[in-house]
Amino acid sequence: MEFFDVPALGRVAGSVPLPGSKSISNRLLLLAALAEGTTEIRDLLDSDDTRVMLSALAALGIGLEQLDRHAWRVHGAGGRFPVKQADLFLGNAGTAFRPLTAALALSGGHYRLSGVARMHERPIRDLVDGLRQLGCDVRYLGNEGYPPLAVAPADIELEAPIRMRGDVSSQFLTALLMTLPLVGALSGRPAVIEMTTELISKPYVEITLNLMARFGVEVAREGWRRFVIPGGQRYRSPGVAHVEGDASGASYFLAAGAIGGGPVRVEGVGRDSIQGDVRFAEALTAMGARIDMGDNHIEARAPADGKLRAFDLDLNHIPDAAMTLAVAALFADGPCRLRNIASWRVKETDRIAAMAAELRKLGATVETGPDWIGVSPPLTFVAHAAIDTYDDHRMAMCFSLAALAGVPVRINDPNCVAKTFPDYFERFGRLAAPVIAIDGPSASGKGTVAQRVAQALGYHFLDSGALYRLTALAAMRAGTDLDDASAVAGIAAALPAEFNGEQILLSGEEVGAAIRDEAVGVGASKVAAMPAVRAALLDRQRAYRRFPGLVADGRDMGSVVFPGAQAKIFLTASAEARAHRRYKQLIEKGLPANMRTLLQDLQERDARDAARAVAPLRQCEDADRVDTTSLGVDEAVAAVMDIVRRRLPFIN
């Protein structure tokens, strides 16, 4: 994909499950590989950077079993990689490159480590200098101070403290900390690291120490200047290790809640998280956003007066989430400054330069310094800006938020999000894509109207009634008793249905006509009253919410499935008018029809749909009513479009 167009967006509310944290995933993988025993890692992030680490470990002879998409069993090698010679390509994954360099330099084998061109522009000297003080044989294969590298066996000495700089990247310290226990375990002596400069990004080192402790190795920390790893400790598998949701990835959704009204809730991280980036919530608080933190969630909403405040903040402790703040600054009530972020210059790209160039495209005034960026919000946002992403996942994700200004934004090369968050745009769409919910009784004309509205807007279309009809048809064909709720719910959960343009397929067979059959309609109304069936179809319906937007037609679109829908319309007509429409349809098809029985059937079905305990048919309080009794189709579409334009002014 060359670009992704994020449409103009308005209000955002909802909840988002987070993918696993990259920082925790890659650290756990390496610790599990270095440990004694087998570790089952759950909720592991499935992304480019974790795949880089997994394939490197596999190439080094570590036994890996995939249990499901997010669970792996790692057979620890007790500190010794079985494969003694390897050539590893590590892409642009800093969280794999740095710690593997250290681990391999201490492993007594011959290894080469390389990456993409950008990886070869990212400094690694501080780590190499640290390793050389231990006697490691590490050589630069290209430019001095940068990858690619070669390491070879050497005699390791643990005499003097290792002196190391901490002001370029905290990952160098993380790499040494994670691998020094291997030396200490062999020698029985303590290993000491002394920082010669201020350590940046301290919370990431805290993640490292925390995870090492889970594998049985304690580090004595004296401030952030000196670290002592007592000798004789070795990594032992804790058995099972769980990966928290990604707090950096959470920042995009939390910012969306703060900018777009909210509440937006992220699930998978909370107040006890070991990730420093949860403190992004404090930065949002400084902007006036309202934050709620639970054990396993964080929720953000806009300030009470709706206006985010300007800020001037030192963001050294949250360098990654700080990028999100640079884009949130576009929505502040004055000029903002992000300070102490020099590490941006050596990340996936020079993030200070990249951020400045792209923010300007949206109309912002931007100033930069060696370690800071100042952002003055635009007076009016430039629509249709084409944002370049510099092969930097975070550029792509944070700039998607600019659409909340009510302007469409184009994100170039959107697939770079695969580094840490492969389905970012789907999840963002599931939260923020506009939804027009059109509910109402049978034969009110809502199917036709909803389809026409979807077409006019270029939106996706969901005919939720078809899902209930398909469930009934599948159950009837399988000979399932339609009173057996759990059997029918099982069918609904695994419904082999597909919508392919005009076609409706069940197990590959076209059933568009079959599901319109009267008996199937009656069956649908029956199974639709079963709570288990409705629950089984819920996620499936929500998955239709995608950019640029969705028109959803049914009974409970506005009340249950998409309660945060931007526009809710209750489309109805008198029972007589609806019976008459049905009558005309049947006669046109050459089928027998009787007005009286049709009217009676309709009234009975309305009563059943309205009386059922779950998701009864009713007009939501916040829905606009359109009575089509005396309207033709064109007039009904026009009436709905008027409401849509009023409710979603940003779509013009």
Residue 395 vs 467, nearer CB to ligand DC: 467
**Cβ atoms of 465 and 524 closer than 8 Å:** yes
Q: What is the DSSP string of 377-438?
A: PPSSPPTTEEE--TT-HHHHHHHGGGGGGSS-EEEESGGGGGGT-TTHHHHHHHHHS-EEEE
Nearest to 543 by CA among 562, 526, 530, 524: 562
Query: Which residues in the 504-523 window bind ligand DC by CB under 6 A?
Result: 521
Residue 123 vs 616, nearer CB to ligand DC: 616
Q: Which of 377, 445, 554, 564 binds ligand DC (CB under 6 A)?
A: 554
Minimum Å gap between C-beta 449 and ligand DC is: 12
Residue 46 vs 553, nearer CB to ligand DC: 553
d(CA 106, CA 109): 8
When asked if residue 444 is in the footprint of ligand DC (CB under 6 A), the reply is no
d(CA 18, CA 299): 13
Query: Which residues in the 589-608 window bind ligand DC by CB under 6 A?
Result: 605
Residues 6+ apart with CB under 8 A from 159: none
When asked if residue 465 is in the footprint of ligand DC (CB under 6 A), the reply is yes
When asked if residue 524 is in the footprint of ligand DC (CB under 6 A), the reply is yes
Minimum Å gap between C-beta 485 and ligand DC is: 14
Q: Which stretch binds ligand DC (CB under 6 A): 23-31, 146-154, 312-320, 462-470?
A: 462-470
d(CA 265, CA 299): 4
d(CA 546, CA 555): 20
Q: Which of 101, 275, 525, 628 binds ligand DC (CB under 6 A)?
A: 525
When asked if residue 410 is in the footprint of ligand DC (CB under 6 A), the reply is no
Q: Which of 27, 351, 469, 582 binds ligand DC (CB under 6 A)?
A: 469
Please state, in angstroms and as integers, the Cα–Cα distance from residue 157 to each residue in 78, 98, 152, 190, 419, following that order: 20, 21, 15, 11, 37
132 three-state secondary structure? helix
Minimum Å gap between C-beta 525 and ligand DC is: 3
**Cβ atoms of 130 and 164 closer than 8 Å:** yes
Q: Which stretch binds ligand DC (CB under 6 A): 11-19, 313-321, 405-413, 552-560?
A: 552-560
Nearest to 441 by CA among 642, 269, 610: 610
Minimum Å gap between C-beta 36 and ligand DC is: 55
94 alpha carbon, distance to own chain's centre = 21
Q: Which of 609, 623, 626, 636 binds ligand DC (CB under 6 A)?
A: 609
**Cβ atoms of 608 and 417 closer than 8 Å:** no
Site string for ligand DC, 166-195 (x = CB under 6 A): ------------------------------
Nearest residue to ligand DC on Cβ basis: 465
Active-site residue set: 320
Q: Which of 528, 551, 575, 623 binds ligand DC (CB under 6 A)?
A: 528
Q: Which stretch binds ligand DC (CB under 6 A): 9-17, 54-62, 383-391, 463-471?
A: 463-471
Q: Which of 165, 419, 555, 568 binds ligand DC (CB under 6 A)?
A: 555
Minimum Å gap between C-beta 482 and ligand DC is: 13
Q: Which of 391, 556, 606, 624 binds ligand DC (CB under 6 A)?
A: 556
Residues in a beta bridge with 530: none
When asked if residue 468 is in the footprint of ligand DC (CB under 6 A), the reply is yes
Minimum Å gap between C-beta 565 and ligand DC is: 13
Residue 23 vs 541, nearer CB to ligand DC: 541
When asked if residue 442 is in the footprint of ligand DC (CB under 6 A), the reply is yes
**Size of site (CB under 6 A) for ligand DC:** 14
**Cβ atoms of 454 and 552 closer than 8 Å:** no
**Cβ atoms of 76 and 38 closer than 8 Å:** yes
- CB neighbours of residue 168 within 10 Å: 19
Q: What is the DSSP string of 547-608?
A: SS-EEEEESSIIIII-TT-SEEEEEE--HHHHHHHHHHHHHHTT----HHHHHHHHHHHHHH
Q: Which of 464, 559, 572, 628 binds ligand DC (CB under 6 A)?
A: 464
Q: Is 149 left (phi over 0), alpha (psi -120 to 50) or beta?
A: beta
Q: Kindly list the residues in this chain that would bind ligand DC in the complex (CB under 6 A).
A: 442, 464-465, 468-469, 521, 524-525, 528, 554-556, 605, 609
